[in-house]
């Protein structure tokens, strides 16, 4: 079966009418091995580059509890991804950002450090998420985390007691991470008038083009923010429709945005409405549907729920 996902942006900026073949893209997406059981938490970090979805690993219980405690009190909302080292890591969780305040970046309020839970069974491989910590102190991790962009086991597994891996970014989530990793960086260490004490941690600050040339140009329009951090329903308890919607949102953020709107019901349909793209994804009677009112009033089938759920499951949803 070959089904195509209609392009929502054909009406914008003079783009030509086109279709995006979902199953061709799906075939090119290699699922990562699962780190933990389907009941393990799945969290979503919302960015302008797409959702970064992380499957947390129950075999690092103290670290997962620490991360979720920060997330649940909103500590990761409106935080900046403050460090990017090419072919190494993207790091965040340390600083809240607000253009309207002085300074614009302030440290996340931290709680006592979490005990190091490094295990060689949870190595620092590409797409894994680990806690950042102070040099020479294995038990110093607080709020900051990083995504491994490459196989960093030879380095990070062998120093400072090992860096505790506590989750893995889903394959669609790594597409968003790789978009961020492709950005250039600026050295903002001298921008204390704008960034305050946080400037010292921003010598490799990823920025969106055009690259800022002055400290004053370091605004939310240039840096990369985690706008919100939320928990998705555990896969073991989420409905098939919600699992499919979560997967579609992560894989096609340009068409299904903003991610994670409420799941609604109408005349037998289970659906979500995406305000930014004025579109709908829905299910009914074992079929997945899509509706784009600006293109057509017709509700279009995209394939069976069984097919989509299998794809979503293989990608961690």
Give the CATH number of domain 42-229.
2.40.100.10
Q: Is 50 helix (H, G, I), strand (E, B) or coil?
A: coil
Residues with Cβ < 8 Å from 86, sequence gap 6 or more? 149, 181
pLDDT for residue 147 is more than 90: yes
Separation of alpha carbons 29 and 86, rounded Å: 22
Provide the pLDDT confidence category of residue 33 given band limits of 50, 70 and 90: very low
pLDDT for residue 6 is more than 60: no
Separation of alpha carbons 245 and 243, rounded Å: 5
Task: Give residue-wise pLDDT tens across range 186-234.
Answer: 999 999 999 999 999 999 999 999 999 999 999 999 999 999 999 999 8
pLDDT for residue 62 is more than 50: yes
pLDDT > 70 in the chain, percent: 88
Nearest to 126 by CA among 99, 101, 155, 105: 155
Omega before 219 within 30 of 0, i.e. cis? no
pLDDT for residue 32 is more than 90: no
Average pLDDT over residues 125-154: 98
State the pLDDT at residue 40: 74
Mean pLDDT of the chain: 90
pLDDT for residue 29 is more than 70: no
Provide the pLDDT confidence category of residue 294 given band limits of 50, 70 and 90: confident
Q: Which residue ranges make up each domain of the chain?
A: 4-30+238-314, 42-229
- The 3-state DSSP composition of the chain as helix, strand, coil percent (nearest 5) reads 20, 25, 50
Separation of alpha carbons 131 and 129, rounded Å: 7
Angle of CA points 106, 250, 110, to nearest 5°: 25
pLDDT for residue 95 is more than 90: yes
Task: Give residue-wise pLDDT tens across range 232-284.
Answer: 998 889 999 999 999 999 999 998 999 999 999 999 999 999 999 999 999 99
Q: Can you give the pTM of this predicted structure?
A: 0.89
Cβ proximity of 195 and 202 under 8 Å: yes
Q: Is 148 helix (H, G, I), strand (E, B) or coil?
A: strand
Residue in the block written with tokens 């989530």: 173
Separation of alpha carbons 179 and 182, rounded Å: 5
Cβ proximity of 163 and 131 under 8 Å: yes
Task: Give residue-wise pLDDT tens across range 35-52.
Answer: 445 567 899 999 999 999
């Amino acid at each position: 079966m070959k089904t195509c996902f209609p392009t929502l942006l054909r009406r914008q900026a003079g783009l030509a009418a086109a279709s995006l073949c979902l199953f061709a893209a799906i075939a090119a997406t290699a699922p990562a091995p699962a780190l933990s059981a389907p009941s393990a938490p799945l969290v979503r970090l919302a960015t302008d580059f797409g959702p970064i979805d992380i499957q947390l690993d129950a075999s690092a219980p103290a670290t997962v509890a620490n991360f979720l405690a920060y997330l649940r009190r909103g500590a990761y909302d409106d935080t900046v991804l403050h460090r990017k080292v090419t072919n190494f890591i993207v790091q965040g969780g340390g600083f809240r950002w607000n253009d309207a305040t002085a300074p614009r970046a302030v440290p996340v309020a931290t709680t006592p450090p979490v005990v190091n839970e490094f295990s060689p069974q949870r190595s620092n491989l590409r797409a894994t998420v680990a806690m950042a910590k102070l040099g020479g102190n294995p038990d110093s991790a607080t709020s900051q985390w990083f995504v491994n962009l490459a196989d960093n086991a030879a380095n990070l597994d062998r120093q400072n007691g090992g860096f505790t891996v506590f989750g893995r970014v889903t394959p669609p989530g790594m597409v968003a991470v790789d978009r961020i990793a492709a950005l250039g960086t600026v050295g903002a260490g001298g921008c204390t008038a704008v960034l305050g004490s946080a400037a010292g941690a921003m010598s490799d600050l990823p920025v969106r083009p055009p690259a800022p040339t002055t400290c004053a140009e370091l605004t939310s329009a240039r840096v990369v923010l985690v706008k919100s951090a939320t928990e998705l329903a555990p896969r073991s308890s989420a409905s098939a429709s919600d699992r499919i919607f979560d997967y579609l949102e992560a894989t096609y953020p340009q068409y299904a945005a903003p991610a994670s709107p409420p799941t609604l019901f109408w005349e037998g349909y289970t659906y979500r409405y995406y305000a930014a793209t004025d579109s709908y994804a829905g299910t009914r009677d074992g079929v997945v549907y899509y509706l784009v009112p600006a293109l057509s009033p017709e509700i279009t089938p995209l394939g069976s729920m069984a097919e989509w759920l299998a794809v979503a499951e293989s990608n961690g949803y």
